Structure 1
């Protein structure tokens, strides 16, 4: 897929007012297989609880309205001493979007619509 195709698909995803499948659609755009996404939705490979999504070694996703930065820090601390941790931590309230790459320690923060 070309960069333009990625951008177009992300743009459509952001425009969608129903965010209930956001993370699943987002992961599919970036190459996670449909079978893995189906298992994640069913909970068989989701290692998180309380509505969070954790796909081992790949991504930890939280949809929250409570302190986005604090949520990122909580997840980083949770995995601090674990051998297995998510590569990316994504937290959003669908107004703001925060992401952290746990391998490079790079972070992004911007308005959700700019995604």
Structure 2
């Protein structure tokens, strides 16, 4: 009876871990396939959020044009998705961001940060 309980507990921890590893490995394979298939003219997004157009590729590097006439070199590993995939991601509505910014304003009862009097 005790062995069965230990087996069940083991299964409860092993199966979810196995499924998570499988999903992560699948995403890694997709990213590697994208990185290996980069062609000049592809619009991509880097891990740092830089949007650019591929101008040339090497074995480990990719040259991205991030503005007209501005070409920077990135490691291929920094490329995480295409611009098309990035645009399809769900983002919060623009109206929500305005309300959040208004909530983050300092309260009037606190003095200014630099120690000077309010004008």
Same fold (TM over 0.5): no
In terms of fraction of residues, the more helix-rich structure is 2
Q: Give me the TM-score of the superposition, normalised by structure 2.
A: 0.24
